[in-house]
Amino acid sequence: MKTPKFVFFLPGLVCDGFVWEKQMEGLSDLAGCTCVEWDREDSITAMALRVLAVAPERFAVCGHSMGGRVALEVFRAAPERVSGVALLNTGYQPYSPGPAGQEEAKGRYALLEIAKAQGMRAMAAQWIPPMIHPARRQDTVFVSSIVEMFARKTPEIFELQTRALLSRPDASPVLEQIRCPALVLTGQDDLWSPPPRHTEMAAKIRSSRLVLVPGCAHMSTLERPEAVTEALRSWLSA
């Protein structure tokens, strides 16, 4: 009798299960699919511990953006429980206290101030355009769906998750320890999590598969849902 498969989907910064809807539907014949969201956690480690608290003894983990960093922390904490790792539009390096890190923090806190003063929709209007492919920026229905997702979170949650990202751990040693089936995926036009970073990540993970989705930026699961689902099906079937 085959052991049932379980996949835990982990969303990014102030995202929710909406980013995974197409993938969870498309993989439902292969595995039990669950999305874990964040509302109280202020560190990547705390998010990983929440996943481990609700997951079965053996499961695969799939993270997008900040969720990819959480997936790596899940593996760091309990590698024997993880049957597969998928890392989408994400990163592995720690926060840098130098000029690059200071610039990152400045940008993140500027968005947070907009969220606090004007609301999450106003923040989303500033944040979304660089995250999606230029061809989708005039698609009002598509953009509005992302704005509404962000609006389902509060500035307080945004602040907690911003704090988590600015205290993120170095996941370089984790990448080199992964031996289970691994997928590393990003959009060819992702400015936030660019292809060269994912090429580096794939090179550090033995036997990983690298997928660069054409005509796609940071919100890959929403921009190119079919391509992402196809890549995940191959990964989950490995």
Report phi then psi at 52, rounded to 5: -65, -30
Q: What is the pLDDT of residues 129-142, one digit of tens each?
A: 999 999 999 999 99
Instruction: Name, in order, each residue with C-beta under 8 angstroms of 76's C-beta and a sequence gap of 6 or more.
Output: 48, 171, 173, 174, 177
Relative to beta strand 59-64, strand 32-35 is: unpaired
pLDDT score, position 21: 98
For the chain, the domains span 6-94+170-237, 99-164
User: Above 80 in pLDDT, residue 1?
Assistant: no
Q: What is the pLDDT of residues 200-216, one digit of tens each?
A: 999 999 989 999 999 99
For range 90-119, the mean pLDDT: 95
Q: What is the pLDDT of residues 34-88, one digit of tens each?
A: 999 999 999 999 999 999 999 999 999 999 999 999 999 999 999 999 999 999 9
94-108: burial string, b at 16+ Cβ within 10 Å, e else = eeeeeeeeeeebeeb
For the domain made up of 6-94+170-237, the CATH class stated in words is alpha beta
Q: Is 38 helix (H, G, I), strand (E, B) or coil?
A: coil
- In this structure, are residues 190 and 220 in contact, taking their beta carbons and an 8 Å threshold? yes
Banded pLDDT at 97 (limits 50, 70, 90): confident
pLDDT score, position 3: 62
Tokens of 186: 């990003």
